[in-house]
Structure 1
Amino acid sequence: MLLSSLAASISVRSCSLLLAENPTQVGTALQVFHNLGTLKDTIANVVDGYCTVLEENIKNALDIKVLTQPSQTVTRGGPGRAAMPTPGNTAAFRAALWTNMEKLMDQICAACGQVQHLQKVLAKKRDPVSHVCFIEEIVKDGQSDILYKFWTAVTQTLSSQFQSATDFTFSYMQSPEKALKDSLQQYEAAYLSKSLSRLFDPINLVFPPGGRNPPSSDELDSIIKTIASELNVAAVDPDLSLAVAKNVAKTIQLYGVKSEQLLSTQGEASQVIGPLTEGQRRNVAVVNSLYKLHQAVLKVITSQSSFPAAAEQTVTTALKAVHDLMGSAVQPLLNSVGDSVEAIIITMHQEDFSGSLSSSGKPDVPCSLYMKELQGFIARVMSDYFRHFECFDFVFDNTEAMAQRAIELFIRNASLIRPLGEGGKMRLAADFAQMELAVAPLCRRVSDLGKSYRQLRSFRPLLFQTSEHIASSPALGEVIPFSIILQFLFTRAPPELKSPFQRAEWSIARYSQWLDDHPCEKDRLALIRSSTKPAFLESQAMTLNYRGIDDSGALEAYVQSVRTREGKEFAPVYPIMVQLLQKAMSALQ
């Protein structure tokens, strides 16, 4: 009896030592229980005690009655659903819930620390007589270590209380962290729903039904702050960050949809005759608002530390849609300006370039009338319309494309001028120089226009070169397409050798549209070839050798006209054109 009482007293004293933080004291207690033959049962009782305490703590922390007292009555949800408070006391509920959760996590962390400390000592402590490691006594017969058993019990309790899964299983290969996250799925779903509501609310507020104006700067700042707050809160976990990022993407999409509804799509949106219309002003405001949102959100996601790549991609994709919407909003105006530029450039054919060189050897005017009109128009539209946009890079990205198009049209039409006299060449050369000034307002720098700029610079000196020098120019093919040079050489041919558009009896405008519809150089050369295919001539008076070219097309008509008048030679430019066409076709093979 005495021995039993003594053993019980020692056991109680040793149990208190097991809870100590000093490894030596814990080791002494373990040795006592080993000597008494109760080590395994005692350790099991200690771990079970921790689990029992935590189970009670979990129940108290998530007790909906406590969380919603005293102002809220209990509203029970259906099976598997998280009971949420009514909207009237959401803030108080949220504060109480997070306070309880923070306290609960501290309790779980403390218990985990104690169990882990106990396991470390078990793994190091050996019986001085048998030299058996104490941990081996605990895990023998295939049983799990105490920390694993403890965490399994904790996650099962959490799962049961959170009602996140009807049949919760916890395999050995599943990580404890994943088990804890899985147990919180229902609360995560509720949180994400509330998060989306918090993100949508300020947008719905600043886009009232029937509204005609985009949000103000202060209203947009409020939206951005909400987005930043949601992302910052979610930064504690990569999976949660991705889920919230998807909500942010939906928010951006909603902003885009609301903004698109404000855009003016009537004819006034694309007019370029007078000052800005009310619809155009609203479109400018919408584009500026979208730009501010795009830049602000981009700044938020780049400032996020350890932001998951998938989350960043999700938001970036939504921002790409915003950028596309900006482009769609400004496209009608760009199209209208582009059409006007083309209409002005094509009027060069209404001017006379057939004159001879003046006595001074210089053009009478610095540039042609159409060029003056073009310069004035571009300067006006940039001042009246595009300067109101705050997204300068976005504007220049679009207007630089317009400048490239203007240069392409200018070179195209310049290569079609017939007849072109020496005085006309001088005036056209002056127009080439003035063209750089004309498109300058559309660009950051004209030299940034790349290939279009090089074509403009390379074509100008060809105006004064012989056909032979033109055909051997290193700019051909690399900078200036063969089709453009062949068009230009038609202007040096006699009237009976018609340009492709003349042979087809098209207007220059229709021919230009055909070229736009057929951007492939092979197609363009094929059309020119149909206008330049010579017959195989056996006349000894004409010693040209044209191999591999079918005898059909407009040039055959030219050959026939030469035969009819019993001519003995072709125009000097004729063989050069044929040889150049052969070279161009070979380069495409």
Structure 2
Amino acid sequence: MYIVQYSPTIDTFLPVKSLNWRQDYLSQGVDLSGIEVIENDLLLISRARLEVENQAKRLLEQGMEIQNPTQVGTALQVFYNLGSLRETISSVVGGYRTTIKDNINSALDIKGLTQPTNPRGAPGRAVLPTPGNTAAFRAALWTHLEKLMDQICAACRQVQHLQKVLLKKRDPVTHVCFIDEIIKDGQPDILYTFWTDVTSTLSEEFHRATEASSFLKQAFEGEYPKLLRLYNELWRRLQQYSASLQGALTSGAGIEASLDISATESDTQDLFTHGKQDYNPEKALKDSLQPYEAAYLSKSLSRLFDPINLVLPMGGRNPPSNDELDSIIKTISRQAAYLPDVCLTERHHSDTIPPLDVMLELNVASVDPNLALAVSKNAAKTVQLFCVKSEQLLCTQGECSQVIGPLTEGQRRNVAVINSLYRLQQAVNKIVSGSGVCVPPAAEALSSCLEAVQVLMSSAVQPLLQSVSDSIEAIIITLHQEDFSGPLSNPDKPDVPCSLYMKELQGFISRVMADYFRHFQCVDFIYESTESIAQRAIELFIRHSSLLRPLGEGGKMRLAADCAQMELAVAPLCRRVSDLGKPYRMLRSFRPLLFQSSELISSSLAVGELFPCSTLLHFFFTRAPPELKSPHQWLDDHPSERDRLSLIRGALEAYVQAVRARQGKEFAPIYPIMLQLLQRGSSV
């Protein structure tokens, strides 16, 4: 019995199960020690096995390095035949884990970060960071971290490639999938184990390093967005590689058919979550950053609150100046735009907010949606704090609503508060609407806080608006003190001057707009508020004009002149009188109604659509005999059209009873027209 001597290679020993079988056969159940021929044979087999293992290891390393599935599959087949597949995979992956841990320690090593390239002095002496070289220290830190991310990415890619080949490779004889050999007995798959170890190592080593060095801790907390950007970029690269790897192996490009790498159900699965559908690998990666994110957000909120608390201290009574407000707006803009303060250049104090093009030039395109949302919530809290502080400054006493004399001190303070709220609102709106600066969830968080600003502005100006509206109503009501019952004084000269109350109304509105509202910077907001006053003023004018009794021909002419002057009176309250909508159309249509017959008015298309039936019915009372009395109830106490028609119905019924009581033979000509119009309005 003898053994043929030869040099084993991967090609000649691909079916290397014979090595294991031959060695087991020769030594099974028998002590063959001392037999020279057998010992030589066993020695030859051991050497051949070792040589095959070494060649397979080199082939596996080379295949993983150049991402060649054929070489990796060949090497894995050898280890499977040798019965050492699981141990080999564990050793290879363990080596990557050890390398990554060493890379992390090297990247965070204070000596490596602070040692100059050509140090002066004793060798090995570390130069600790000082305020003078902090910038250089942080530049070196981020360079090391970028290199670390490249190293982690490279290792993960190789393990991903190994995992994918294991998922697809089957033994050509037994058809056993290699991944099943690895994860049998409940063992997790290699990529899940590897990624879990990598993320936990990152968390542990970062924590250890930051606890040992305050400079590292300050860098991670102060420039957390940079750190998060590196993590996001790492994850993006891994996902891109995973997608390209699945596509390459699924297509089978460059893979030898003899390797039996076939398509499986896992081709479309994420390699990180294979068999772990409830596992989120991206979250596991970013969880290692939680302490630094929490610290960054806390400092962000503090940076946002500080200028407000400084400008508006507890018990203060002065609104912020323009420069102080600029400082607050800049701080909010910086944080909401996802910019750490260290990345910003100084701007001139007159800049209200950073222009959007400047923001885009400052390399903030890679925004993490979750962090942007958290920072935007901080900005929203800041706006809410500013609203609370501003509300405490508002004057709520009687002087804030006076419209008789010049602006009081309280009114001036209210104007300043509203102007500051408006400028803050405009700044936040610019951030929200800026393309590429604010992601949608963050924009929603900022938009929600603007509602509180709008509500506070409205409540702050409401006392003044209400006082103006009440004064206008009081002036319009005085038209009942004037005489509209007379005939035309001079039929040859129909031009009639407007009434005294109208002149007073025009003077009051002009004075109010000049003395009180011109100080507000929020022109659109003020017009939106005063337009409603103008609309109500027109409605009151038409309503009370329809109640005038008696109304002579001269009164009609003067009332028609008042209609024209009413447009001029309310003009200061709006940009264009035509923008007032339905009240403006009512005013334009009411003037010709003064001279139309009752029959023509009742059949007009404007009835119900433009003019409420109750308004025209009140106007018809002016054409009725004194026996048909107008309703006495105040119309503002009955805003419902149905209630107003009910009051008019009661007046008509009282008239019918009065006629019957005096045994009258006929009703006034206007009565059937009014009754028909009443029925028309009640049927709607």
Matches within 5 A, 1:8-47: 10=55, 13-14=58-59, 16-17=61-62, 20-21=65-66, 23=68, 30=76, 33=79, 36-47=82-93
Distance 1:22 1:161, change over 3 A: closer
Amino acid at match of 2:192: Y
- Alignment of 1:527 with 2:644, yes or no, is no
Q: State the distance in 1 between where 2:488 and 2:534 align.
A: 31
Cα displacement (A) at 1:218: 3.2
> Residue by residue, what CA displacement relative to the aligned partner does 1:131-155 show, whole Å, maximum 9, x if unpaired?
8776565456665543222112223
- The 5 Å alignment of 1:95-174 reads 104-120=148-164, 138=182, 143-158=187-202, 172-174=277-279
| 1:242 match | 373
Q: Which residue of 2 aligns with 1:581?
A: 678
Asked whether 1:181 is paired with 2:290, we answer no
For 1:59 and 1:573, locate their aligned partners in 2 and report how far apart those are by CA, in whole Å.
101
1:106 to 1:283, Cα distance in 2 relative to 1, 3 A: farther
Contact kept, 8 Å, 1:18 with 1:118, in 2: the verdict is: no
Q: Match for 1:40: what amino acid? A: R
Which residue does 1:76 correspond to in 2?
none
Matches of 1:524 and 1:60 in 2, distance apart?
Answer: 86
Is the Cα–Cα contact under 8 Å of residues 369 and 441 in structure 2 kept in the other structure?
Answer: no
Q: How far, CA to CA, are the matches of 1:340 and 1:44 in structure 2? A: 88
Alpha-carbon contact 1:31-1:127 (below 8 Å) kept: yes
Unaligned runs of 5+ in 2: 1-42, 115-130, 208-274, 340-365
1:175-206 Cα deviation digits (max 9, x unpaired): 21122334444443333222211211121122
* 2:101 and 2:201 in contact (8 A); partners too: yes
C-alpha deviation, 1:291, in angstroms? 0.8
Q: For residues 65-116 of structure 1, what are the alpha-carbon distances to aligned partners after superposition, in whole Å with 9 as ceiling and x for unaligned?
A: 999x9xxxxxxxxxxxxxxxxxx9xx99999997876665444333222322
Q: Which residue of 2 aligns with 1:542?
A: none
Q: Which amino acid aligns with 1:575?
A: P
The corresponding residue for 1:547 is none
Report what 2:100 is aligned to: 54
Aligned to 2:412: 281
Provide the C-alpha distance between the structure 2 equivalents of 1:61 and 1:343, rounded to a whole number of angstroms.
79
Following TM superposition, by how much is the alpha carbon of 1:160 offset from its aligned partner in structure 2, in angstroms? Answer: 5.9
1:548 equivalent in structure 2:
none
* Gap change, CA 1:310 and 1:527, over 3 Å in 2: farther
Partner of 1:428: 559
Q: Secondary structure at the match of 2:338?
A: helix
CA displacement at 1:16 relative to structure 2:
4.8
Q: Distance in 2 between matches of 1:203 and 1:94?
A: 30
Q: Does 1:400 align with 2:513?
A: no
Provide the rounded CA distance (Å) in 1 between the counterparts of 2:326 and 2:146. Answer: 31
- Which residue in 2 is equivalent to 1:331? 462
Question: Could you tell me which amino acid in structure 2 is paired with residue 42 of structure 1?
Answer: T
**Structure 1 residue 305: Cα displacement:** 2.9
More displaced 10-residue stretch of structure 1: 571-580 or 285-294 = 571-580
Shift of 1:5: 6.0
**Does structure 2 conserve the Cα–Cα contact (< 8 Å) formed by 1:232 and 1:304?**
no
Tell me how far apart the structure 2 counterparts of residues 490 and 94 of structure 1 sit (CA, whole Å): 87
Aligned partners of 1:467 and 1:576 also within 8 Å: yes
Q: 2:278 corresponds to which letter in structure 1?
A: M
TM (normalized to structure 2)?
Answer: 0.69
Return the alpha-carbon distance in structure 1 between the equivalents of residues 90 and 585 of structure 2. Answer: 84
Mapped partners of 1:228, 1:480: distance in 2 = 50
User: Residues 431 and 438 of structure 2 are in contact (CA less than 8 Å); yes or no, is this contact kept in structure 1?
Assistant: no
Deviation of 1:457 after TM superposition, in Å, equals 1.3
CA distance in 2, matches of 1:115, 1:474: 82
Superposed displacement of residue 52, structure 1: 3.0
53-62 vs 206-215, greater mean Cα deviation = 53-62
1:558 to 648, 653, 658: 658
Range moving further from structure 2, 216-225 or 200-209? 216-225
**Partners of 1:555 and 1:278 in 2: CA distance:** 56
**Number of the residue aligned with 2:258:** none
Distance 1:293 1:95, change over 3 A: farther
1:245-260 equivalences under 5 Å are 245-260=376-391
C-alpha separation in 2, matches of 1:299 and 1:349: 51
Indicate how the Cα distance of structure 1 residues 361 and 182 shifts in structure 2: closer, same or farther if over 3 A, else same.
farther
Find 2:328's aligned residue among 211, 220, 223. 223
Identity between Structure 1 and Structure 2 (%): 68
Alignment partners' CA distance in 2, 1:199 and 1:483: 57
Cα deviation, residue 396, structure 1:
0.7
Contact 1:162 1:186 in 2 (8 A): no
Q: Which residue does 2:26 correspond to in 1?
A: none
| CA-CA distance at 1:414 after TM superposition | 0.3
Say if 1:8 and 1:367 are closer, same or farther in 2 by CA, change over 3 A. same
- Note closer, same or farther for the CA distance 1:270–1:189 as it changes in structure 2 (3 Å cut): same
Q: 1:229 deviation in Å?
A: 2.7
| Amino acid of the structure 1 residue aligned with 2:457 | M
Q: Deviations over 1:259-283 (max 9, x none)?
A: 1111122222112122222222221
Q: 1:306 to 1:266 in 2, by over 3 A?
A: closer
Verify the 8 A CA contact 2:60 2:71 in the aligned structure 1.
no
Q: Structure 1 333/179 Cα, relative in aligned 2: closer, same or farther at 3 Å?
A: same
Residues 1:15 and 1:584: Cα distance change in structure 2 (over 3 Å): closer
Equivalent AA in structure 2 for residue 192 of structure 1:
L
Q: Which moved more, 1:283-292 or 1:271-280?
A: 271-280
Show the counterpart of 2:361. Answer: none
In the other structure, the counterpart of 2:516 is 385
Q: Is the 8 A contact 1:58 1:161 kept in 2?
A: yes
Shift of 1:172: 4.2
Give the 3-state SS of the residue equivalent to 1:411 in structure 2.
helix
Match of 2:125 in 1: none
Distance 1:491 1:200 in 2: 65
- Measured in 2, the distance between the counterparts of 1:229 and 1:56 equals 37
Show the counterpart of 1:410.
541
For 1:417 and 1:300, the matched residues in 2 are separated by 55
Larger Rg: 2
Q: TM-score, normalised by structure 1?
A: 0.80
Say whether 1:571 aligns with 2:668: yes
Q: Partners of 1:411 and 1:459 in 2: how far apart?
A: 7
Which structure 1 segments of 5+ residues have no match?
70-87, 164-169, 505-510, 534-553
Aligned counterparts of 1:294 and 1:496: Cα–Cα separation in 2: 59
